[in-house]
Amino acid sequence: MYSEKVMDHFMNPRNQGEIPDADGVGEVGNPTCGDIMRIFLTVKDNIITDVKFQTFGCGAAVASSSMATELIKGKTLEEAWEVSNKAVAEALEGLPPIKMHCSVLAEEGIHKAINDYRIKNGLEPWEEKGGHTHSHDDLACEE
């Protein structure tokens, strides 16, 4: 059973789309599962001024992408980096255990987009935290 917040972000996703000249792009996913997520960032003075996403996957993946973009818009890159899959799931008022991997995808997509921005600007990529309570690659996707 999904929360009202998950259903709202699935039915009315925020920040859906693409930024053609994005400063950073992160693509993550598991082709076996079918969930694929792209996060696009516009950054000015170390602040995420715009963020969009494209997600191919289940409702929880779309909702997680939508909420994640809401959580990082207007934040510094450092603040956005600290947004965890747990924070995304909590902001959605919970996800079923079998769908927690969708929030992990959102966190990983943010990290990849930020590191893409850093590399494009001659900076070292940050090391991803890892240590998730749920690994996307280890979960079978079930509807």
Point out the residues that are catalytic: 33, 102
Q: Residue 125 has which token pair? A: 């990529």
What is the distance between the alpha carbons of residues 141 and 101, in angstroms, rounded to a whole number?
A: 9
What is the distance between the alpha carbons of residues 82 and 71, in angstroms, rounded to a whole number?
A: 11
Residue pair 109/37 in contact by the 8 Å Cβ criterion: yes
Residue pair 95/142 in contact by the 8 Å Cβ criterion: no
Q: Note the Cα 66 to chain centre separation in Å.
A: 8
